[in-house]
Amino acid sequence: MRLAFRVSYIGTDFAGSQQQPGERTVCGEILDAIRGLNLISDAADDACAHFRFSGRTDRGVSARHQIAAFDTDFPERAISKINQKLPADITFTGYAEVDADFNPRYAVKTRTYRYYFPIIAEGEYDLKAMRDCAALFAGEHDFTAFSRSSERSPVREVISSEISADADGGFLVYEIRGYSFVWNQVRCIAFALDAAGRGDLSVADVKLALEDPEKFGRRFPAAQPEGLILWDTECGIEFTPMPENKKSTLLAGSLIRRYSRLKKTAEIWNK
């Protein structure tokens, strides 16, 4: 049987989501848990389980809703035991039986990210300037100035892009939704929005960087990863909720006390 799982993780102590030799990663920990529960027929060969993940996140980036899928002859054990085997900073929050050829990387149609800007002092940010800049990113653009150099095309279509004050007043929340993103795109946009909010970048600057990145002449650096959450991945699956992972709830509480920037991530984790 092929199962898909909705996955959440706090990225602080991971070197990203994808496996890397000698590094602690999200996929590496999930595969260790799968092997530890003997959920695949040949523990020496991960390919036999057709393990797939819906996308990559960088070092330090968290996720509220990723999707993992693999084949197993022991679905009941996978559903009831996997959270007990996973570390506290990863939790499976839902499951669904899917077709044998289901690949979450290609099944996901849209992705939504949120970036949280902590407000340290009153009047720290010009919210109107940030909103005006955020609105410019909607639509199809060349994001060369707002991404890290790669072989992939920098042209992407953004469905929505907006920023607002969080209900508790402690954060500004930037939400961007699109079909796909290039390397560091959301974090580079977040860096530009932060600069605009502090008066170091104008709306005209952002517009020029989108319309003529060559004339603009530089790339924005990426904002700190701890503020970024992969908020949602949409692929039309209805997930059945999983039992609560108590280890993860305890970890979230400790993060609220340890990291001001991760406070929002931890609060989301507890919901």
| Contact yes or no for 223/63 (Cβ under 8 A) | no
- Whose CA is closest to 79, among 95, 57, 63, 64? 95
- φ/ψ of 188, rounded to 5, equals -70, -40
Q: Tell whether the torsion through CA atoms of 257, 192, 14 and 271 is positive or negative.
A: positive
| Contact yes or no for 37/90 (Cβ under 8 A) | no
C-alpha–C-alpha distance, residues 92 and 79, integer Å:
9
- DSSP annotation string for 184-206: THHHHHHHHHHHHHTTSS-HHHH
| 3-state DSSP assignment of residue 233 | strand
Any idea what the Cα angle at residue 106 is, between residues 104 and 111, rounded to 5°? 80
Catalytic residues: 58
Distances (CA, A) of 14 to 11, 63, 109, 151, 156: 5, 12, 26, 25, 27
